[in-house]
Structure 1
Amino acid sequence: MDYDNKPEGYYDNVRQEMIAYLPDNANKIIDIGCGNGAFAEILKQKTGGEVWGIEYMEEEAKIAETKLDKVFAGKCEDYLDELPDKYFDVIYFNDVLEHLTDPYMVLGKVKHKLTPNGVVISSIPNVRYYDTFLKVLFQKDWKYEGHGVMDKTHFRFFTGKSIQRMYEEEGYTILRHEGINKSRSIRPFLYNIPVLFRHMDIRYPQYATVAKFM
């Protein structure tokens, strides 16, 4: 997979909008797909807790090791069984699940790693985002790109509805599920006029989800 040619800042992106979903009482956190640890380091500073990471890119994982309590380098699927059961208050997946061949299996395993009140927090691209959806609908094209919704390293593609269904099929209860990073373009509104604004989800390039295993 072409993970070496990502744009500058890809591995040190601090997702401020995702920090907003962090529970107040989080003490033990793991950031799966942690990059160089920039985001997870902020979580550690904010909570004063124990923060782990898993990162596919070895060089980025080495940097993350200098910031976090424990870091695994390699495919997250290779380490899930090594993680302690009922240990983490929060498990983050920031734009990670779509890169996995079987995100259902991964969600099925990590639910056993959560404390009784623990949550999984994820950001997942929305394939119905207007810029992507219209290329399929009107240009009859499905073009992969270097990053974004149509990142060529994505194995899976989701809508808001299918994200929610994936979690529920793995036994989770959805606590929050909403579009994030809303487009400032007026075009999604214009496209919605003929359908009486029934498809406003096309404004969002990603969905944030907070889910608990019951």
Structure 2
Amino acid sequence: MKGSSAVEASEASALVPLQSIERLIYTVRGQRVMLDSDLARIYGIATSRLNEQVRRNADRFPEDFCFQLTHEEWSRLMSQIAISKTGRGGRRKLPLVFTEHGAIMAANVLNSPVAVQASVQVVRAFVRLRELVLSNLELARRLDELEKRYDGQFKVVFDALRQLMSPPPAPRIGFRVTKGGEKQEADG
């Protein structure tokens, strides 16, 4: 039997590619989280079994590992990810969401080879998203730095361009009368 569980574990990780897991990570209350139903599917168990294990091991799931969504958060998330409204046979309770640490802890309390193997993919997805966010922040910081550094130089260039683009003053046509009553040609 040991060999079959190892096969199941490798099949589970093969069934859930990293990119698929990344699409299941959302931001709620400023934290990146996964829905209980998505995590259960990845771990190859029923959502009710996952939630049951969380209830039985509540001391292992502090608020920064796992929390229940409010009605408002759930409606916002449903509209954001295009989940249909729950109807017959649907969800009866507000979902739990798991942070990266909560997802690891869930795999530990489930104590199944499939969950442990799949949790590696889940952690990789969280880490990859964190790296993407950090690289975007670094890029934004560098752009700001370049903008500040070159603002003065570009201002001179833009001022010169504006002067070149502005039309020269139109020449005045006609004569100008001076105080002495003499007529002079208008300066052009």
Scaled by the length of structure 1, the TM-score of the pair is 0.22
Of structures 1 and 2, the larger Rg is shown by 2
Q: Which has the higher strand share?
A: 1
Q: Which has the higher helix share?
A: 2
Larger relative contact order (Cα-Cα within 8 Å, sequence gap ≥ 6): 2
Scaled by the length of structure 2, the TM-score of the pair is 0.24
